Each structure stands twice: as structure tokens, then as C-alpha cells.
Amino acid sequence: MTLSLSSPRGRTAAALLAAVLGLSLVACDAAEDDEAPASVPPGGSASAAEVAALSLSANVRRGAREVPVDRIVEVAAEHGRLRSVRLGTGERALLGELSGDGATWRAAERLEPATTYTLRVVGTDAAGERTVQTRSFRTRALSLDEQTFASVAPLAGETVGVGMPVVVTFDIAVQDRATFERHMHVTSTPRQAGSWHWISSTEARWRPREYWRPGTRVKVDLDLNSLPAGAGIYGQESRRLGFEVGDAHIYRVDAAAHRMQVFNNGDLVNSFPITTGKEGFTTRSGIKVIMEKSESRRMSSETVGIAAGSADSYDIDNVQWAMRLTTSGEFIHAAPWSVGSQGVANVSHGCTGMSTADAAWLYAQSQRGDVVEYVGTDRPMTLENGWGDWNAPFREYRTGSALG
């Protein structure tokens, strides 16, 4: 038996249901039945005609268009219980949770843009009479300019160094950072405390309090699909991936002593002469992280603001074993042209140069996220230049979280 919400009794039931659930629910279409139940004498038993009519309701109406993609679909039953709810499109059904008493169902996923969904609800009244209701609705279309996509480093399945932050880059600015951050989670085994830090409205990073422990397994869960980012922008896709932390490679560079020491899991395994930036091109002191590796790359002074043809210009086509440390252009690489100065003087334009043999050895054992700690200069490394996240104490770093 169903209850029409066009009748006074139906409207009262819906109002009471909305007050209990704290929802603004729109009743499903149902057949009208305005008969009042017969009274039951004391000690008597109710007949089937006296069973309260089942009322099913949802917060989307039949045939609705332009339904917001961040709508979390909810269904409720009064004077009965929900037996099953399916919300989907084609063969794909959205996940949802049915309450223990069968009174409510709530979708666990937001909706996709420009998509037609079918909602099928099965309920029973107190007498066990079964009611099935089906409705369809369509969500609002979104252009690519109304959606922001999250790129993530490291890549899924990648093995990285102990200094690797989780780096999330958005192609369109996120204005509501707090809402997004509440849906961005990093977990690890073994567990390690950490924090998000927003570098800008298009980049957020997460780092642990201290360097990762070797062997840690990390999971990144960005539940951002159709989540409002503010200014009419929505998350384009959720991202879920895992990566592993490899051995602890810590490279310590003393620019004043012109030397690098290589530590693997706490053990000193190598040491060799190097050269760093000369006057006017001083290499930054602080903690850097290897961002990318290239067996060979062209290096041109024009990419770092040195004009072609000037006294300090350069254009080298085949620089071997190059590993980037900053976005401003500092690398570790082979520098056979400066072997005579390595271990003696700083003659580079800011990069750390070494012999080809030493550079090849270091490159072979290195991975993204390995740590390079620099001392010996008066030019500090900054948080934003590359993955400089370790250059702030953790207490200061976590102030960059949108959640305080």
C-alpha cells in the first residue's frame, strides 16, 4: 500500500520525516489512498487494512534535470523499511549504505556530470507488503573549465627515497582548500604522522614529520570527484594509488669543502670531490630532494635567465647523468669539463658537478625522493623551489594546512 503526498495525511508524514532526518526530501510518486485506518478496540488486533501506509522518499525527484553533481542521494522509508536501493547508470551502481533499521539509505559516492541515473527502491510495510519505485534523473553537464584534475607524484607502484613528499597538482585553482583537504588522505604502514601544506591554490604537498622509514608502504586517497572546489569548479576525478619507500639514500654536500658524502641506510659508502656554484651563482644550502633523472639532457643558460652570447652563457647538448634538485635549475650531473676544479674550487652556475664516473655511479643507485643535504653557502634553500618541504620545521610546515 502506498501513501500519496498530495493528500493532507501524506504531506504531514513527509513533513515529519524531513524533521526527523534533517533533510529536504521530495516524495516519490505513488498511488493515492486516502482511506483512514479503522479504529482498533482495546485488546483487539489490527487487520491488514489498518497497517500504516508505507511512504518512500528521496532528495531527487523523478525526471529532474540539472541535478548538481555534488548531490549525495538519500532515500528514506516511513511506516516500513527499505529492502534494497540501487542507484546507477547502465551496469554500474554507486555504492551506498543502508541503515541498520532499514529507515534510510545514503549514497557513498557523488554523481558524474551529464549522466542519466536510475534510482530503484524496494520497501515493505509493517505487514510485509512489498512496494517498488523507480525514477530517473539527469545531472548537470560540466565543461573542462569547470573541473579540476589532480596529478599525483609519486606514480602508482613507484619506489622512492625517504624524502619524497606526496605532491598533488591541480590544473585549475582550488578556492575551497579546506573542503578538498578533508577528502585528501595519506596513510602508511608503519604509520607516520604528517601534514598537508598548500604551496598555492594549484599545489598541495604532504610530508611526514621526519624522513620516511625505509620500507614504508604508502597509500594516497583523493576522494575529489564532483567535490566543489569553489568558484563553480568541481573535482574531475578521484585518485587512489600506492607507492613504496626504498633504502635511505642521504647525500651530504659541503660546498665550502667541495666534497660529497654518500650514506646508504646510515652507512658512509662513498665520498668524492665536487664543484658547486661560483660567485654570482651560489648553490643553495638546505635540504633538497631528487625530482627527476635524465641519462642525458641539453642544458642552456637561457632557461635560467642567462642571455645567449653573454659572458656566462652556455649551451651543452649532452650533459650526462643529470638529476634535478630545484625548479630554478640546480642539478647534480657529470661535468668532465671541470674535473680540474672539483675538490678545489666552485666554478659552476649553481649545479653540483663531478666526474663522469662518479656521476654514473651515483645516478645508478639514486631514485626520486632521495635526499641531498647542502651546507657551506650563505644562500638558503626555500620551501617552494622544487620539493623543498624539509626546509621548514614540522610545526611551521603544518601551518600550511587549510584545516589549521
**Side chain identity, residue 161:** G
In the residue annotation, 249 being an active-site residue is answered as no
Angstrom CA distances, 139 to 147, 250, 367, stand at 15, 51, 44
Angstrom CA distances, 29 to 58, 107, 136, stand at 10, 21, 12
How far is the C-alpha of 96 from the C-alpha of 75, rounded, in Å?
10
Burial bucket for residue 3 (CB in 10 Å: 0-12, 13-18, 19+): buried
Q: Number of helices and strands (H, E) in the chain?
A: 4, 29
Instruction: Pull the grid cell for residue 71.
Output: 548531490
Residue linked to cell 666552485: 346
Nearest to 35 by CA among 17, 25, 45, 48: 48
How far is the C-alpha of 343 from the C-alpha of 335, rounded, in Å?
13
In the residue annotation, 351 being an active-site residue is answered as yes
CB atoms within 10 A of CB 226: 23
How far is the C-alpha of 121 from the C-alpha of 316, rounded, in Å?
68
In DSSP notation, 162-194 reads TTPPEEEEESS--S-HHHHHHTEEEEEES---E
DSSP label of 359: H
Give the H or E element holding residue 75: strand 74-78
Instruction: Pull the grid cell for residue 397.
Output: 610546515
- Tell me the backbone φ, ψ of residue 391, rounded to 5 degrees: -90, 10
How far is the C-alpha of 153 from the C-alpha of 149, rounded, in Å?
13
How far is the C-alpha of 25 from the C-alpha of 216, rounded, in Å?
46
Active-site annotation holder among 197, 258, 349, 351: 351
How far is the C-alpha of 344 from the C-alpha of 118, rounded, in Å?
74
Active-site annotation holder among 197, 249, 258, 333: 333
Helix ranges, 315-387 (H) = 356-365
Nearest to 241 by CA among 154, 319, 175, 170: 154
Residues annotated as catalytic are 333, 351
